[in-house]
Amino acid sequence: MAKRVTKRRLETNERLLDAAEKAFAQHGFHGVSIGELCARAGYTTGAFYSNYASKDELFLALFTRHSEAVLKQLGEAVEQALASGDPLATFIELASVVDEETQTWFLISTEFTLYAIRNPEVAEVLARHDAAIRSGIAELITPLLATASPSGVVAADLDMLLRFVVAVREGGLAQSLVEPTVLPHGELERRFLPALLRTL
């Protein structure tokens, strides 16, 4: 029988997610116990297990929350870009902004990705979540890509293109966090992606 979603349960869940996000960013996914997460949120472990079966499940809930926020931001960026004189360049400029939340999520997700690589079952679940957000992004940017290529991009190519963009985004972010004075945040995306997308 499904658990009834009450206002109190929603508040508990949000506090657990907030506590997990901060703890994972500071100490790593494996560096904090469920008990410590609960203490940070002001709950007992019973509250945790009434919402999640494991830390893995908690991370995936964080992933979903983050994905929803990203899709909202990208949707707003697409609207602004389509109203500009150079939609692709404008969108990439808006989408390549790196704030504190972006950096926090990068730390959390990178560590969980390494954990997933070592655990095939976790990798399979993470891959499904990754595919879902790529699908959402593909839907958002299709009108944008049409401004550069009226014939459009077929779905299979678009998924591979998004994989490439994610690789550039995450690889560039890793380098810029290590060498912020040498490689400013978003520089690789701003410099190369507009020309690449127009070529494709």
- pLDDT tens readout for residues 73-95: 999 999 999 999 999 899 999 99
Range of the domain at 44: 1-52
For residues 76 and 10, membership in a common domain is answered with: no
- C-beta separation of 112 from 29 below 8 A: yes
What is the rounded CA–CA span in Å between residue 72 and residue 195?
25
For residues 87 and 171, membership in a common domain is answered with: yes
Q: For residue range 146-200, list pLDDT tens digits in order.
A: 887 666 555 558 899 999 999 999 999 999 999 999 999 999 999 998 888 777 6
For residues 25 and 94, membership in a common domain is answered with: no
| Residue 151 neighbours by CB distance under 10 Å | 6
- Please, is 129 exposed, middle or buried when counting C-beta atoms within 10 Å of its C-beta (0-12, 13-18, 19+)? middle
| Ordered alpha helix ranges (H), the chain | 7-27, 34-41, 45-49, 55-82, 87-95, 100-117, 120-146, 155-178, 187-199
At residue 167, the 3 state secondary structure works out as helix
At residue 34, the 3 state secondary structure works out as helix
For residues 67 and 27, membership in a common domain is answered with: no
What is the rounded CA–CA span in Å between residue 77 and residue 87?
10
